[in-house]
Amino acid sequence: MAQTIFDKIIAREISARIVYEDDDVLAFYDVAPKAPTHILVIPKKPIENLLATTEHDTVLLGKLLAASVHVARAEGLASDGFRVVINTGKNGGQSVDHLHLHILGGRQMAWPPG
Ligand code: 5GP
């Protein structure tokens, strides 16, 4: 898989405002926020997107969701709620080919999304 900007963030080759890290997961603020709080939660393992996951990634997918809950609470989003988004492929609006969960909060979200 080709290197992405997120591999460079994992390797600390470019900086990011990291808010959570464990052996498998990294979470950091989005550089171009779409909400007052916008954090990305990614696996350290390079996986292109949801479609590239297999049954071997089931535990990792759970860890990504659990980390998202932890981060949302830690960043003060629990009381008013938040949204978790996984853009996948062209129609999903994915621009970085490394699986990532967007945590968006701090304002009322619209539905349906654009
Ligand atoms: P996607 O469009 O693939 O769902 O989301 C990719 C996200 O990565 C975008 O929200 C974009 O702002 C964010 N992003 C792209 N490059 C960087 C970067 O170098 N640093 C950080 N922190 N976020 C980035």
Class of domain 5-105: alpha beta
**Structure confidence by residue, pLDDT tens digits, 63-86:** 999 999 999 999 999 999 999 999
Contact 97, 1 (CB under 8 A): yes
Catalytic one of 38, 56, 100, 102 = 100
At residue 1, does pLDDT exceed 80?
no
What's the predicted TM-score (pTM) here? 0.98
At residue 92, does pLDDT exceed 80?
yes
* 11 three-class SS: coil
Beta strand ranges found along the chain (DSSP E): 18-21, 25-29, 37-43, 82-85, 101-105
Nearest CA to 35 among 77, 66, 6, 86?
A: 77
Per-domain residue ranges of the chain: 5-105
At 22 the pLDDT is 98
> Which of 40, 42, 85 gets mutated to test ligand 1 (max ligand atoms within 8 A of its CB)?
40
